[in-house]
Amino acid sequence: MPPQPHVTPNLRRAPVQQRSADRLARILDSCGGLLDETGYEQLTTRAVAERAEVPIGSVYRFFSNKRALVDALALRNLDAYADRIAARLADLPASDWRAAIDAVLDEYLAMKRSVPGFALVDFGPPFPAEGASDDANRRLADRLAVLLAGHLGRRPDEGLSRAILVSVEAADALLQLAFRTDPSGDAAIIAETRTLVRSYLAQTLD
């Protein structure tokens, strides 16, 4: 079964029947593929409908515009990413936080290289709305703080949440550089990113 979309305020109507959920998943899959081919500016809801082989009305049944569509794709990516991390953490000892951080980075890199549309829209639209309070990196950091705190047997308190947010912001900038340098991700920059994040988090997690 394809991953189901995160229910957000941008979703006009949540799917009730499986057929409707499958149609919504197909719309989001098509959106991701077209983002890789055309970019965000050239993306249209009509093109998404044609790729998904659904009437344009089916797209507007769920989304008011392409931004709402892309935001739903980003939230589905976040749900899938969190699921992948949770599965990895289940196989790791709680005492080894460095292995947990490696899993967080490894799963991000795997999705960056394989998930349609993820290179442009990972966990938020490429152009955040002005004044948006729920930006992609904070959204990601909040989810990671809960996952890591649960794995490590500690509370996601203010100190841990702040450290995760700083790490996410730093890693985001460096990994963008890595993928600008090499379309598959510059290995040396990725290695430096891993070292930097580990070193910074050691003061909170050791």
pLDDT for 4-42, tens place per residue?
Answer: 444 454 565 665 578 888 999 999 999 999 999 999 999
10 Å CB burial of residue 106 (0-12, 13-18, 19+) is middle
Quote the pTM value. 0.88
The average confidence (pLDDT) of the chain is 90
What does the alpha-carbon distance between residue 103 and residue 99 come to, in Å, rounded to a whole number?
A: 6
Share of the chain above pLDDT 70, in %: 89
What does the alpha-carbon distance between residue 171 and residue 158 come to, in Å, rounded to a whole number?
A: 20
Residue 176 has pLDDT above 70, yes or no: yes
pLDDT for 65-94, tens place per residue?
Answer: 999 999 999 999 999 999 999 999 999 999
What does the alpha-carbon distance between residue 62 and residue 68 come to, in Å, rounded to a whole number?
A: 9
pLDDT for 89-141, tens place per residue?
Answer: 999 999 899 999 999 999 999 999 999 999 999 998 887 665 555 689 999 99
pLDDT score, position 134: 60
pLDDT for 135-161, tens place per residue?
Answer: 899 999 999 999 999 999 998 899 999
